[in-house]
Structure 1
Amino acid sequence: MHRLRRVLAVLLCCAIGAIALGPMPALAGYPDHPIRLILLFPPGGETDPLARAVGQELGKTLNTSVVIENRPGAAGNIAAALVAHAPKDGYTLLWGLGTQLTVNPLLYRDLSFSVEKDFAPISLMAESGFVLVVNPKVPANSLAELIEYAKQHPGKLNVSTAGVGSPLYLANMLFMARTGTKTVNVTYPGNTALPVLTGEADLVFGSLSSSLGFIKANTVRPLAVTGPRRLEPIPNVPTMIESGVPGYVMTTWHALLAPAGTPQDVIDKLHDGLVKALAAPEIQAYARARGITVAPGTPDQLRERIRVETDMWRKILKDAGVGTLN
């Protein structure tokens, strides 16, 4: 009996010690080998340089290497599935895109993952608005004039997009929902600003990087930006809200996520390292020059943003009669 009591006492002390240590074992030595950062876009795209720069800075803050892996295809679902089913150890992370996380679950029925159940949010990283530019032949010198023209000519304006569910497509869907206009989404490969330049399309909600050269050359006319504030490289172009479209804010945002079930102390270490990485002068300068806002936040803030925007897009797509793609 006395021996049993001694054994129980030892076990109790061990249990108390484990509780006191809390999550320490999961952090011990992390990271002790390279981290994989999975991107949904191909090498050389507009976001690829930013992701590589952030990955390099994150590696510095965590004293390890961050290896970039481009896994494009299926609107980002290939990259997302890879991370969703990866080991829950903090060594495989997803560079997630806002529309990939909020719209894809509405458009694709047969996903092998659930954004809500299979990912652990770490932080928002950055976001950028679009620039609404029109071909000079479009009789509109302001957003108000464009809206009036679109209302008088429903279905006549062609909008250049990268396809159903793409950020540019969604920017126009939100525009129609907020203004009561009817335009036509047309898919073009490559630089979606080029069809506006040539006159094949009337307008585009383009990224700043794809549109800035044409704006400076006066070959397209910028009417508004879609983010919550003006863009530093084109400070004279007003926001959609300033131009009289209440409730219109559309950005492309980027976030870091891990597989659900990753230990909380690992999530915390990744979050803290990411915040430090995003504060690096090189990252800040790169972002400012391209109209990108660096905006880290908490995991809970990212989780809530995914929920709110998923609900918003669900209503907009349903009201527009957009069904699933598979």
Structure 2
Amino acid sequence: MNILKIGLSVALSLSAIAPAWSADNYPSRSVRLIVPFPAGSTTDTMARFLSEQVGSELGQPLVVENKAGAQGSIAAAEVSRARPDGYTLLVGTNSTQSANVHLFKKLPYDPVKDFTAITQFTMNPLVLVVRPDLPVKDLGEFLEYAKAHPGTLNYGVGNTGSLAAVQMMKGMTGIEAMDIQYSGTPQAITDLIAGRLDFMITDISVTRPYIETGKLRALAVTPLKPTEALPDVPTFDTSGLKGYEFVAWGGLFAPAGTDPAIVAKINKAFTKALNSPEAAAFLGKQGLEPAPRTPEDFTGYVAAQTIMWGKLLADAGQPKK
């Protein structure tokens, strides 16, 4: 076979592959949504709800896969190495995209260079919960108890949101407590209910059922305004810790180099789902606030969040591992 025939053969092969990468027929098969936290976590619950809504819109199933561990780094690294064809996406969070770069000396992925931002999903308020037999009924009593028992309290960390929220509280109040690391929030909640942990600041969606049944006691929520999911729980700010405000977030990312037309098609489908009454009702019950953005807006938001997380963790004295 001469060079001309070889070149023609390669060209034909590439032309046969090209349609699978184009936006015209995307998606022509199922799409993987890689979730960096365990089943039952807030990120997982949100991804599974949206996958059903968006799968119907795109005409292909969106399959959720959980790849938990290392504060989301395992999942993020896998997606960063995936083919940029729109069929492997990361349900990223403030952990994977903004905090980990300040928490780890070496990451197996680059949060900026390895990804294309598609859209934000939600803003995620958190709640301070304690084991029910801890002798405190509100934030003021909790802080007094912690100061009277320095270094004896412990708390669970299932993601960087939990870590940073507690570090912020410790930095503002001077209380001492020991962190216990978990691969995900549900496992930490199990130990908190069992009395092996004293408190957590974590996602409302995974704690609300236990708050309602009395297995956990909610003391304060992290935004400046009360949340719809826990309307009777005061904020940190109104409970005496003036200026305390913290909100986590989640969104969708594709490997770097993904066709902008494919990114735009995915963004449109998720934006439609997030703006639906069904999403408002479902996410509201989880304590989440829909917050879809354009790819450009989300890129800028993540960049600003990364700077904020660097300052937050530095002020909290959090060393890199």
What TM-score do the two structures reach when normalised by structure 2?
Answer: 0.81
Match of 1:95 among 91, 98, 105: 91
Summarize deviations over 1:253-284 as a string: whole Å, max 9, x none: 21001112222222222111111122344433
Paired residue total: 299
For the structure 1 residues 302 and 242, does the alpha-carbon distance in structure 2 shift closer, same or farther, using more than 3 Å as the test? farther
Summarize deviations over 1:31-57 as a string: whole Å, max 9, x none: 333322222233454443431221121
Which residue number in structure 1 is paired with residue 16 of structure 2? Answer: none
Please provide the CA RMSD for this pair: 2.7
CA separation in 1, counterparts of 2:150 and 2:97? 31
Which residue number in structure 1 is paired with residue 178 of structure 2? Answer: 184
CA separation in 2, counterparts of 1:70 and 1:195? 21
Work out whether 1:42 is the aligned partner of 2:34: no
Which residue number in structure 2 is paired with residue 10 of structure 1? Answer: none
SS at match of 1:77: helix
Which residue number in structure 2 is paired with residue 302 of structure 1? Answer: 298
Cα pair 1:193 1:206 within 8 Å, conserved: no
CA separation in 2, counterparts of 1:38 and 1:222? 31
Deviates more, 1:91-100 or 1:126-135: 126-135
For the structure 1 residues 216 and 65, does the alpha-carbon distance in structure 2 shift closer, same or farther, using more than 3 Å as the test? closer
Which residue number in structure 2 is paired with residue 244 of structure 1? Answer: 240
Q: How does 1:1-326 map to 2 (within 5 A)?
A: 26-162=22-158, 166-187=160-181, 190-325=186-321
Question: What letter matches 1:176 in structure 2?
Answer: K
CA separation in 1, counterparts of 2:42 and 2:228? 18
Summarize deviations over 1:123-169 as a string: whole Å, max 9, x none: 1102322221234554543323333443454334322333xx64322
For the structure 1 residues 246 and 307, does the alpha-carbon distance in structure 2 shift closer, same or farther, using more than 3 Å as the test? farther
CA separation in 2, counterparts of 1:47 and 1:56? 15
For the structure 1 residues 234 and 318, does the alpha-carbon distance in structure 2 shift closer, same or farther, using more than 3 Å as the test? closer
CA separation in 2, counterparts of 1:135 and 1:71? 29
Deviates more, 1:271-280 or 1:115-124: 271-280
Deviates more, 1:131-140 or 1:291-300: 131-140
CA separation in 2, counterparts of 1:250 and 1:240? 10
Runs (5+) with no aligned partner, structure 1 = 1-24
Question: What letter matches 1:265 in structure 2?
Answer: A
Deviates more, 1:261-270 or 1:277-286: 277-286
Alpha-carbon offset, residue 114 of structure 1:
0.9
Question: What letter matches 2:180 in structure 1?
Answer: V
Alpha-carbon offset, residue 59 of structure 1:
2.0
Cα pair 1:192 1:206 within 8 Å, conserved: no
What TM-score do the two structures reach when normalised by structure 1?
Answer: 0.80
Cα pair 1:191 1:210 within 8 Å, conserved: no
Which residue number in structure 1 is paired with residue 5 of structure 2? Answer: none
Among all aligned residue pairs of Structure 1 and Structure 2, give the percentage whose two residues are the same amino acid: 35
Question: What letter matches 1:29 in structure 2?
Answer: N
Cα pair 1:127 1:254 within 8 Å, conserved: yes
SS at match of 1:117: coil
Question: What letter matches 1:216 in structure 2?
Answer: E
CA separation in 2, counterparts of 1:71 and 1:187? 17
Deviates more, 1:293-302 or 1:144-153: 144-153
Runs (5+) with no aligned partner, structure 2 = 1-20
SS at match of 1:170: helix
